[in-house]
Amino acid sequence: MANLRDTFRDMSPAEKREASRLAELEEWRIDNRFCGRCGAMMKPHDNPAEQAFVCPSCGYTSYPKITPAVITLVTKGDKVLLQRNTHYKGVVWSLVAGFVDAGESLEDAVRREIREEASIEVKDIRYFGSQTWPFPSNIMIGFRAEYDSGELKPDGEEVIESGWFDCGNLPEIPRPGSIARAMLDAWVKGAC
């Protein structure tokens, strides 16, 4: 997996798709050797075209699971919100991102993550695009949103620093190959 992490960003879209598919299916196989309901050994589905494991004891069927995460480019007029996260190495500034919680819509997750990490409210949430992210089995769903209210304040735990930047004055941002960079590049193209 460490190897895939090193090479993933530089892959073509087709290579990313195939590498993600294989990594995510492998992760799912490892996690589903035994039934999560009754503990019996799982078996592949009788129909080989069906991507599933079935429990011969209780009948539970497990399909590959992909975990959704949202990532949002927030603008305030002609400025973009960037933040430094404790998870990132070095001094890379990036967008607000986080996993979707149980019971949430994607828009709910966008609003909650921004409220938690940056202490502000947003409006005009619009879909940007998505990217498979096999670390281990995620899909990143990108949105744009406009600042609505509140005073920007990093949460001090996940986010150590945050700020509004204009496109001529960006700090170090994620390198090409991530959806964060694609979203920033698209914004710069429109804003500069």
Tell me which stretch binds Zn ion (CB under 5 A): 32-40, 66-74, 115-123, 162-170.
32-40
Phi-psi region of 77 (alpha: psi -120 to 50; beta: other; left: phi over 0): left
The binder of Zn ion chosen from 20, 32, 55, 132 (CB under 5 A):
55
What is the rounded distance in angstroms from the CA atom of residue 131 to the CA atom of residue 63? 20
The binder of Zn ion chosen from 37, 43, 126, 153 (CB under 5 A):
37
What is the rounded distance in angstroms from the CA atom of residue 156 to the CA atom of residue 134? 28
The binder of Zn ion chosen from 4, 11, 57, 136 (CB under 5 A):
57
Site string for Zn ion, 125-164 (x = CB under 5 A): ----------------------------------------
Tell me which stretch binds Zn ion (CB under 5 A): 31-39, 78-86, 92-100, 183-191.
31-39
Which DSSP category does 158 fall into?
A: S
Is 35 a binder of Zn ion (CB under 5 A)?
A: yes
